[in-house]
Amino acid sequence: MAELTPKQKEVMDSFIHEKPKILLASGAKRAGKTFVFILLFLMHIAKYEGQGLSFIIGGATQASIRRNILNDMEAILGKELKLNKANAVTVFGNKIYCFDGANADAWKKARGFTAAGALLNEGTALHDSFVKEVISRCSYKGARVLIDTNPENPAHSVKTDYIDKDGQTLDNGRLNIRAFHFTLFDNIFLDPEYVESIIASTPSGMFTDRDIHGQWVSAEGVIYKDFNKNIHYINREEFERVNIVKYFAGVDWGYEHFGAIVVLGKSDDDKIYLIEEHAKQHEEIDYWVKVAKEIKERYGNINFYVDTARPEHVVRFRRERIRAIDADKKVVAGIEEVARLFKLNKLFVVRDDVERFGKEIYLYVWNEKTGEPVKLWDDVLDAVRYAIYTELKPQRRK
């Protein structure tokens, strides 16, 4: 068996000796939470070897279950795990059912059978009703539930309903809930250079608090805390000396809100430059087609990563032979990508050719109650986010 970190051993000791019904591990990414839970889950299933019992793995999507759980499970067991038509696999003579639990009606998938245990991955990405349903399904004598998660808003139900109840006991005295907190530094097997690079590239504020220190903190204040006008603004003359190898654009539709098209360039040393900004209120689609065609004349047949909220506008762009590609609009992940580029000094703005950006960058703030951005002063920044997050997606996969 792979060597465990002191924190992972602590979790394993609790599982074996304290025997909590629900065990949680929350905290920083790459801290070793999921791996120790996979080991514990397999130990638990092995206890019932050959009994034909049912177990549950829950994750945001089938793809994330494969990536986060099944691949490591295969490595530990030394065999391939192929799901059948019911998304189940046999391990130690028992059936493990894999359910994607991100949607409101996901709980229905877990309804109707008794389970002897469950492993829920990325707890905050699962729907609250799914988590509750899975826990209620685990009614077989001795059933255990393992939940690992990265931290989010402190008002999230995984924290308020389970983590905050650490130490809760049942009427018979059995420990019901035990919760462990991980930081990045708990994973003593990570290469120190890798840790240093993670810290250096994690945006300041909420992202550092959550991803490095594993804290459940509210998002607050300005979103792009690492933007520095003295570093990230450059003039047209400086930009002329940059060797751009690829141009691409981002589009955020608007009418009462400002609509925006931005043009970005990627240099031969992998830096990104915001080169042009077109932001206007109360303009119809004809205006935006004209702007896009002029951009196409200047930069060639580049990709326009477009907001999918107005499908009729997207269709019109395509009809006009503008290469409109649906943007990946993940909000927090997209913001983190843009913020990371500012932190690493890999995103620059040609000051002479933007106007609204200069206002938005200081007025784009988090809503402390919801943990989402306030839907004001976000039009140019949304277009920038769509373009950067979608363009860099293949690189992230690598």
What's the mean pLDDT in 209-231? Answer: 93
- The reply to whether 170 and 240 lie within a common domain is no
- The reply to whether 256 and 182 lie within a common domain is no
- The reply to whether 16 and 109 lie within a common domain is yes
CA distances from 278 to 62, 258, 353 (A): 40, 10, 9
Cα dihedral across residues 118, 123, 125, 130: positive or negative: positive
**Confidence tier at 398 by pLDDT (50, 70, 90):** very low
The total number of structural domains that make up the chain: 2
pLDDT tens profile 152-179: 989 899 999 999 999 999 898 889 999 9
Domain membership flag for residue 216: no
Of the three residues 158, 186, 214, the one that is the final residue of a domain is: 186
The token pair at 386 is 């769509």
**Residue that the structure tokens 């792979």 belong to:** 2
Letter for the amino acid at 287?
Y
- The reply to whether 153 and 233 lie within a common domain is no
- The reply to whether 51 and 120 lie within a common domain is yes
Give me the percent of the chain exceeding a pLDDT of 90.
Answer: 87
pLDDT of residue 232: 97
- The reply to whether 256 and 162 lie within a common domain is no
φ/ψ of residue 249, rounded to 5: -130, 155
Of the three residues 159, 186, 213, the one that is the final residue of a domain is: 186
Domain membership flag for residue 218: no
The token pair at 283 is 């303009």
pLDDT tens profile 326-341: 999 999 999 999 999 9
Domain membership flag for residue 1: no
CA max distance for the chain: 75
- The reply to whether 178 and 233 lie within a common domain is no
Strand partners, 106: none
Give which of 307, 321, 315, 241 is closest to 273, Cα–Cα.
241
pLDDT of residue 397: 56
Is it the case that residue 394 has pLDDT exceeding 80? no
Half-sphere exposure of 82 (CA within 13 A, CB side): 2
Torsion of CA 51, 121, 131, 167, to 10 degrees: 90
- The reply to whether 301 and 375 lie within a common domain is yes
Of the three residues 170, 186, 202, the one that is the final residue of a domain is: 186
Residue 154 CA from chain centroid, whole number: 17
What's the mean pLDDT in 265-281? Answer: 96
**Confidence tier at 318 by pLDDT (50, 70, 90):** very high
> Do residues 2 and 188 touch, judged by C-beta distance below 8 A?
no
> Do residues 371 and 219 touch, judged by C-beta distance below 8 A?
yes
- The reply to whether 255 and 126 lie within a common domain is no
- The reply to whether 51 and 163 lie within a common domain is yes
> Quick one: DSSP state of residue 7?
H
Q: Tell me the C-alpha distance between 143 and 136, whole Å.
A: 10
**Residue that the structure tokens 């009729």 belong to:** 312
Domain CATH number, residue 237: 3.30.420.280
Domain membership flag for residue 101: yes
Domain CATH number, residue 172: 3.40.50.300
Q: How many residues does the chain have?
A: 398
Domain membership flag for residue 211: no
Is it the case that residue 187 has pLDDT exceeding 80? yes
Q: Tell me the C-alpha distance between 102 and 100, whole Å.
A: 6
pLDDT of residue 112: 77
Domain membership flag for residue 210: no
163: Cβ–Cβ under 8 A, 6 or more apart, which residues?
A: 24, 26, 179, 216
Domain membership flag for residue 12: yes
> Do residues 236 and 349 touch, judged by C-beta distance below 8 A?
no
Domain membership flag for residue 208: no
pLDDT tens profile 346-377: 999 999 889 999 999 999 999 888 888 998 88
Domain extent at residue 88: 6-186
- The reply to whether 281 and 173 lie within a common domain is no
pTM of the predicted protein model: 0.85
- The reply to whether 177 and 266 lie within a common domain is no
